[in-house]
Amino acid sequence: MKFRSTLAQLRAFDPPAALRDTTRPLLNLALNENSLGSSPAVAAAVAAALPQLHRYPPTFSDALRQALARRHGVAADRFLVGNGIFELLGLITQAFVAEGDEVVIPTPSFGWYAISARAAGARIVAVPLAAHAIDLDAVAAAVTPATRLVWLCNPHNPMGSLVAAGAIRRLLERLPADVAVVLDEAYAEYARPADLPDSAHWIDEHPNLIVLRTFSKAFGLAGLRVGYAIASPPAVRELGKLKSPPNVNSLAQVAALAALGDEDFLRRSVATVHEAARAYPGFCASRGLGYVPTHANFVMIDLGQDGDAAATEFLRQGIVIRSGSEIGLPSWIRVTLGLEHENRRVFELIDTLLAARRDGAAH
């Protein structure tokens, strides 16, 4: 057999190695999961669905689409439900990108954009961030006649920054209509509604826009794998041809529906993150540490010392975080915002690292 040559340049996308060690309890602050868990309504809905496990799930997650249509105030034919955003990213790349096409990716960003583009044999045009945020002018300038796809992550992973609605809108107006623009809003629920683009309502005017949302973060369903695209009906139709027919399992469909119905859990989950997001700036400022004000459930901090060594020390203390070295910021770390006592542990550990460095410098 002969594998496609594009595979040779790929590595499997894998969470931090530490998380593969299942023999000891670790506080996972590396994957931006929901520190509150998930809604009790989800457990009840999943239990109620167990007698029907021998049935195939609805192919297009119809009940969930109807509920999403009500939530976003746009018609149900604008929704494609997927096995998490991960699946939808792959479908989008397959639908638009062929060998040699260009894909514009603000960099650093969510790693799977580049991996799926490479798998398709595309040429990746990496656009550096400016002041830790997507540089939309540079993105517009990077688009050429060969560009088929532009990835925008807003709020941005890994920086936590947000680009303003007006600026995204101006970009859409500047770009040719034959370039697909994906707005990955995995962290949208954490942004203040006033800051967040009303992007679901831009699709009539910009049918080349695809908005992605997930149940993995604020809804706390990362283990069940449900995400969705909001897109023009032709885009929903074309992407729907590529997905595997039963792509979202039946438990995931009922769980997502139940999660949508529990506004109280969502409010608590967002409030928990906002509380942590308020605690970090004070902590960082009082220690003289750089940080990026966050619109998501994680924060980037400049420790002023080796991020890899810091992550190793965190792991020794039972906490998994990400080192900025993965994204070319070797003195930074990325930490998921957790419960109050979890954040306190992070602060204590950072203080220990800073004290060790001061002592080291004094001797």
Residue ranges that bind ligand PLP, judged by CB under 6 A: 32, 84-86, 110, 153, 157, 184, 186, 214, 216, 222, 227
Between 159 and 315, CB nearer to ligand PLP:
159
Contacts of 200 (CB under 8 A, 6+ apart): 72, 73, 74, 78, 211, 230
Amino acid at 230: I
What Cα–Cα distance (Å) separates residue 342 from each residue in 21, 28, 221, 287, 327? 20, 10, 20, 19, 25
Q: How far is the CB of 151 from ligand PLP (least distance, A)?
A: 9
Nearest partner of 156 among 138, 130, 179, judged by Cα? 130
Nearer to ligand PLP, 116 or 216 (CB): 216
Closer Cβ to ligand PLP, 65 or 353, answer by number = 65
- The answer to whether the CB of 103 falls within 8 A of the CB of 148 is yes
Q: Which residues pair with 133 in a beta bridge?
A: 130
Size of the chain in residues: 363
Task: Provide the minimum distance between the beta carbon of 53 and ligand PLP in the complex, in angstroms, as a whole number.
Answer: 22
Task: Give me the residue whose beta carbon is nearest to ligand PLP.
Answer: 84
- Inter-residue long-range contacts of 119-128, CB under 8 Å, 24+ positions, other chains counted: 119/6, 119/7, 119/10, 119/93, 120/6, 120/93, 120/94, 121/4, 121/6, 122/93, 122/97, 122/98, 122/148, 122/149
Q: Which H/E stretch holds residue 182? A: strand 180-184
Least Å distance between CB 72 and ligand PLP? 17
Residue whose CB is less far from ligand PLP, 102 or 184 = 184
Residue closer to ligand PLP by CB (options 222, 266) is 222
The C-alpha R_g of the chain, in whole angstroms, comes to: 21
CB of 153 to ligand PLP, least distance (A): 5
Instruction: Tally Cβ neighbours within 10 Å of residue 57.
Output: 18
Q: For ligand PLP, which is the closer residue by CB, 243 or 306?
A: 243
Strands 102-107 and 332-336, how do they pair?
unpaired
Give min distance, CB of 73 to ligand PLP, in A.
22
Q: Please, which residue, 117 or 289, has the CB nearer to ligand PLP? A: 117
Q: Which residue number, 100 or 128, has a Cβ lying nearer to ligand PLP?
A: 128
Residues contacting residue 181 through CB under 8 Å, at least 6 positions apart? 149, 150, 152, 171, 172, 175, 206, 208, 209, 210
Residue 83 and residue 76: Cα distance in Å, rounded?
18
- Report the C-alpha gap between 22 and 311 in whole angstroms: 18
Q: In the bound complex, what is the minimum distance in angstroms from residue 212's beta carbon to ligand PLP?
A: 7
